[in-house]
Structures are given as C-alpha cells and as structure tokens.
Amino acid sequence: MNWVQIGATFGVNTGLILFGIAYDKFVAKLEHEGSDQGFTALLVAAGVAVTLFGIGIMDLFVNLNAGLIGVMCFASSGLPMIFGSLRRYAKLRSQFKKALDLILGGNWK
C-alpha cells in the first residue's frame, strides 16, 4: 500500500465512523420522538447508501479485494449504530423494569 491508499483508507473509514456516530444520534432522536415509526427501511437505506458511497471512493484509490473494502466500510459506519441501538435498548429495558417494580412492588420477578 502506498501513502495515497493509506490516506484514502484512513480518511474514508474515519468519515464513516463519524457518520455512524452522527447518524446514531439522529436515529436516537427520531426514536425518542416516535418519528421513526414506519421509516425504518428508509433510515437503513440511507445509511447503506452513504456506506456504498464510501466503498466507491475507496475503490478508486485502494487496490484491495472488494469484499474486504465492503467489510471495512460497513463495520466503520455500522458499529456506532449497533452500539447505540444496544445502549438504547438497555436503557429502555431498565426503565421498563423500574416501572414494573413501581406498579407491582417488585413481585413480578
């Protein structure tokens, strides 16, 4: 790998990580407002489109297997979303358990 390829790999994947973080915050806001209902497919498609754009940019500069480029890019943009989703689920589950404790007095376990 030459310096242009290293720079392209680093730049695209860093950009996708930052996109994943920002997009996770956007999706979390929509979920909190209830505005995501019925739009999950569009949210996923938009995230995939941005990732495919990153794959296309990397493919122009980096001489790697297309599958490897795809895995790197989807990991970079997807992991922040996965961690954010798990964090929101854990928070919701904790809130649900607290509500059940208040309603049922802890006898539901």
The pLDDT > 90 percentage for the chain reads 85
Match 């920002």 to its residue by tokens. 22
Whether 55 is in a domain gets the answer yes
Size of the chain in residues: 109
Whether 96 is in a domain gets the answer no
What pLDDT, in 10s, does the model give residues 57-93?
999 999 999 999 999 999 999 999 999 999 999 999 9
Whether 65 is in a domain gets the answer yes
Whether 16 is in a domain gets the answer yes
What's the mean per-residue pLDDT of the chain? 94
Whether 93 is in a domain gets the answer no
Task: Quote the pTM value.
Answer: 0.89
Containing structural domain, residue 61: 3-83
Whether 42 is in a domain gets the answer yes
Whether 95 is in a domain gets the answer no
Domain total of the chain? 1
DSSP H helices in the chain = 3-33, 40-61, 66-104
